[in-house]
């Protein structure tokens, strides 16, 4: 009797199990092979098949059949060569002969754990439903009782502060005659504060991003600062920065991140004596919204020459950052000492703030920071933030949405009267559905002093293909079809850094106009409307109640 394994195909998957199914059209395909060559997952491959062809030659129909061996494009049913739906095949096909189609009934994650390795990926939480931020609308419109402003004509000051702000009672000022002057005899430490644009580019490392992508972003924000007069800043992510940039005057537009692996910090510390400008700020990463409790991970295949030099490590090894800062053992250690150490490194001239992942415990961290006079801000990264590599379970099921987390932290500060002392930076899903200005403005009105974006700028400035239907999302394997998250020169050459920079500038200029279009009808222009919660409403009573805003329907 034949063994069962020979009779059925239980060990094979049908294409119905896959999240994307390739639609290939035999009649259009000219067999150029571009699609199979470009596929980052090797999900499609050229093969041959025997076809029975009915044909008729001559003026009178005389059908005859012929068996031919033809070249075809097939989709792999190997789970590790699944089609990610990136559609790079469609992009390169000259005849529109191929495209992936979303299969909503797929059972992909049932099987994507071969070898006992859970599914890992990049991108953000796979939840295409509408986010809380997109449920908020701006409903306080200036009508007749006060005139709306003109977004195109009036002056708007869309700026914010990054840094610990002293309460007015503690300022080292003195009244001299009719003037308030700086009291030079007062030894009160005035923490450094930067005036920045309220939407910053969040932490994405050189390494996670390709050289062309990172360079494009850096050029874009430099242009915004130097030419457009918009003080947009960008965070380095963990892993240091090119030495030339560290020693340049442009370093003032960058926030240097230190995370649990301390990658790149040997080079940064060595560069301090040669720095001609201070960096904008130092961000201490304790958590990331996309993967709370996980450290960073740069896969070995991304650790090439440039990265190894910047990070001070050998080439071709995995670079995992631990989930926590291993040298510390308590919040006092982890936060207070580290913040002060970083202040010391730059002579107390650079703001230092921690970044945590959104969490129900965020308020505990917040209150610790409130009591720490050196903490320059608190950055909270919500669950919809992106990442270059993480376990799917962490991304999909771990974390806290940013809206309520931020709101409760802000209201806690209000209760203590500290809402202007410790700026809150909100991140995680800002612009998830493309509504960058609206999401940013809503977070500001919920209490954020600034917001951070990451995934959005990759999508808008470089055409990142990833989405919340798990399209693409292979940032972790180093084969980004757009050349954004890869260290392979063949791939990142696809991305022109000048074009990325151009797009960054376009995105920010458009964002600035849109923010004005939001603030103008609400009669706000002189200061950022932080905590202007009467301006927004939710379309869901439960959301409105939780955020302590109005419900509008």
What is the CB-side half-sphere exposure of residue 488 using CA atoms within 13 A?
A: 17
Nearer to other proteins by C-beta: 167 or 541?
167
Are 280 and 194 in contact by the 8 Å Cβ rule? The answer is yes
Beta-ladder partners of 426: 380, 451
Distance CA 246, CA 312 (A): 15
**336: DSSP letter:** I
Distance CA 504, CA 23 (A): 34
Distance CA 86, CA 434 (A): 18
Number of residues engaging other proteins in binding (CB under 8 A): 47
Asked if residue 533 binds other proteins (CB under 8 A), the reply is yes
CB of 363 to other proteins, least distance (A): 16
Among 216, 296, 429, 523, binds other proteins (CB under 8 A): 523
Among 417, 490, 542, 553, binds other proteins (CB under 8 A): 417
- According to DSSP, the β-strands at 64-75 and 44-55 are antiparallel
Among 116, 415, 490, 553, binds other proteins (CB under 8 A): 415
Nearer to other proteins by C-beta: 25 or 349?
349
CB of 178 to other proteins, least distance (A): 5
CB of 192 to other proteins, least distance (A): 11
Nearer to other proteins by C-beta: 66 or 169?
169
CB of 419 to other proteins, least distance (A): 7
Distance CA 206, CA 498 (A): 17
Asked if residue 532 binds other proteins (CB under 8 A), the reply is yes
Select from 203-211, 218-226, 397-405, 522-530 the region that touches other proteins (CB under 8 A).
522-530
Are 188 and 470 in contact by the 8 Å Cβ rule? The answer is no
Asked if residue 529 binds other proteins (CB under 8 A), the reply is yes
Nearer to other proteins by C-beta: 96 or 527?
527
CB of 396 to other proteins, least distance (A): 36
Are 315 and 305 in contact by the 8 Å Cβ rule? The answer is yes
Six token digits for residue 549: 């805003």
Nearer to other proteins by C-beta: 195 or 318?
195
Beta-ladder partners of 297: 320
Instruction: Tell me the per-residue interface mask from 151 to 180 with other proteins, x by CB under 8 A, - otherwise.
Output: ---xx-x-x-x---xxxxx-xxx-x--xxx
CB of 161 to other proteins, least distance (A): 6
Nearer to other proteins by C-beta: 183 or 309?
183
Evaluated on CA atoms 125, 236, 328, 371, the torsion sign reads: negative
Evaluated on CA atoms 87, 91, 92, 98, the torsion sign reads: positive
CB of 443 to other proteins, least distance (A): 14
SS3 assignment, position 319? strand
Within 422-461, which residues bind other proteins (CB under 8 A)?
A: none
CB of 162 to other proteins, least distance (A): 11
Distance CA 122, CA 84 (A): 12
Among 9, 314, 534, 552, binds other proteins (CB under 8 A): 534
Among 524, 537, 544, 547, binds other proteins (CB under 8 A): 524
Nearer to other proteins by C-beta: 224 or 457?
224
Residue in the structure block whose two tokens are 């049913």 = 77
Six token digits for residue 199: 């939407």
CB of 377 to other proteins, least distance (A): 13
Nearer to other proteins by C-beta: 318 or 534?
534
CB of 376 to other proteins, least distance (A): 13
CB of 521 to other proteins, least distance (A): 10
Are 451 and 475 in contact by the 8 Å Cβ rule? The answer is no
Asked if residue 414 binds other proteins (CB under 8 A), the reply is yes
Select from 298-306, 345-353, 496-504, 527-535 the region that touches other proteins (CB under 8 A).
527-535
- For the CA atoms of 20, 22, 23, 29, the dihedral, rounded to the nearest 10 degrees, stands at 160
Nearer to other proteins by C-beta: 246 or 520?
520
- Give 427-451 as a DSSP string: ESSTTTTS-HHHHHHHHHHHT-SEE
CB of 158 to other proteins, least distance (A): 12
Among 77, 248, 340, 420, binds other proteins (CB under 8 A): 420
Nearer to other proteins by C-beta: 8 or 169?
169
- Give 127-156 as a DSSP string: --SPPGGGGEEE-----SSSPPP-TTTS--
Nearer to other proteins by C-beta: 132 or 533?
533
Residue 158's closest CA among 539, 432, 544, 519?
519
Within 194-253, which residues bind other proteins (CB under 8 A)?
A: 195
**335: DSSP letter:** I
Exposure string of 456-473, with b = 16+ CB inside 10 Å and e = fewer, is bbbbbbbbbbbbbebbbb
What is the CB-side half-sphere exposure of residue 111 using CA atoms within 13 A?
A: 19
Select from 17-25, 87-95, 345-353, 413-421 the region that touches other proteins (CB under 8 A).
413-421
Distance CA 453, CA 439 (A): 11
Asked if residue 525 binds other proteins (CB under 8 A), the reply is yes
Asked if residue 66 binds other proteins (CB under 8 A), the reply is no
Beta-ladder partners of 319: 298
Q: Which residues contact 450 (CB under 8 A, 6 or more apart)?
A: 160, 162, 196, 198, 199, 200, 377, 423, 425, 426
CB of 364 to other proteins, least distance (A): 20
CB of 545 to other proteins, least distance (A): 17
Distance CA 279, CA 376 (A): 14
Within 99-158, which residues bind other proteins (CB under 8 A)?
A: 140, 142, 145-147, 149, 154-155, 157
Chain residues binding other proteins by CB under 8 A are 140, 142, 145-147, 149, 154-155, 157, 159, 161, 165-169, 171-173, 175, 178-182, 190, 193, 195, 414-417, 419-420, 522-527, 529-535
């Amino acid at each position: 009797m034949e063994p069962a394994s020979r009779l059925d195909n239980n060990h094979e998957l049908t294409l119905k199990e896959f999240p994307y199914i390739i639609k290939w059209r035999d009649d259009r395909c000219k067999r150029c092979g571009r699609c199979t060559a470009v596929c980052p997952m090797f999900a499609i491959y050229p093969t041959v098949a025997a076809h029975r062809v009915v044909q008729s030659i001559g003026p009178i129909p005389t059908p005859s059949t012929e068996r031919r061996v033809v070249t075809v494009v097939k989709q792999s049913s190997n789970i590790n060569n699944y089609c990610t739906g990136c559609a790079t095949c469609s992009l390169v096909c000259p005849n529109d002969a191929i495209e992936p189609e979303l299969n909503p009934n797929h059972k992909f994650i049932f099987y994507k754990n071969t070898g006992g390795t859970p599914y890992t990926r990049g991108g953000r939480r796979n939840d295409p439903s509408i986010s809380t931020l997109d449920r908020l609308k701006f409903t306080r419109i200036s009508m007749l009782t006060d005139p709306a402003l003109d977004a195109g004509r009036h002056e708007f000051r869309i700026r914010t502060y990054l840094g610990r702000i002293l309460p007015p009672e503690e300022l080292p000022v003195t009244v001299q005659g009719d003037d308030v002057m700086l009291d030079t005899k007062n030894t009160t430490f005035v923490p450094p504060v930067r005036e920045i644009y309220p939407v910053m580019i969040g932490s994405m490392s050189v390494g996670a991003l390709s050289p062309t992508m990172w360079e494009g972003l850096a050029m874009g924000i430099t242009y915004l600062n130097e030419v457009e007069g918009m003080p947009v800043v960008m965070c380095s992510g963990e892993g240091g920065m090119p030495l030339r940039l560290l020693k340049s005057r442009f370093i003032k537009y960058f926030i240097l991140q230190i995370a649990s692996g301390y990658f790149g910090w040997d080079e940064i510390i060595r560069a301090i004596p040669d720095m001609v400008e201070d960096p904008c700020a130092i961000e201490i990463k304790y958590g990331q919204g996309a993967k709370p409790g996980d450290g960073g991970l740069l896969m070995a295949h991304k650790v090439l020459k440039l990265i190894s030099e910047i990070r001070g490590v050998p080439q071709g090894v995995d670079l995992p950052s631990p989930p926590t800062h291993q040298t510390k053992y308590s919040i006092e250690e982890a936060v207070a000492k580290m913040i002060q150490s970083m202040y010391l490194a730059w002579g107390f001239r650079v703001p230092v703030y921690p970044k945590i992942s959104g969490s129900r415990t965020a308020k505990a961290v917040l209150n610790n920071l409130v009591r720490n006079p050196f903490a320059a801000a608190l950055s909270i990264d919500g669950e919809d933030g992106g990442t270059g590599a993480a376990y799917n379970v962490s991304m999909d099921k771990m974390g806290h949405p940013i809206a309520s987390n931020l709101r409760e932290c802000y209201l806690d500060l209000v209760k203590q009267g500290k809402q202007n002392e410790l700026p809150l930076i909100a991140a995680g899903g800002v612009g998830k559905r493309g509504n960058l200005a609206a999401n940013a403005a809503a977070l500001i009105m919920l209490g954020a002093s600034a917001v951070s974006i990451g995934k959005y700028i990759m999508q808008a400035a470089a055409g990142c293909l990833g989405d919340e239907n798990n399209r693409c999302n292979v940032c972790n394997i180093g084969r980004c079809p757009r050349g954004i998250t890869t260290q392979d020169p063949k791939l990142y050459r696809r991305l022109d850094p000048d074009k990325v920079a151009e797009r960054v500038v376009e995105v920010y200029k458009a964002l600035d106009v849109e923010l004005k279009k939001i603030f103008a009808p609400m009669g706000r222009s002189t200061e950022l409307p932080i905590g202007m919660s009467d301006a927004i409403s939710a379309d869901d009573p439960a959301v409105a109640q939780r955020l302590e805003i109005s419900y509008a329907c």
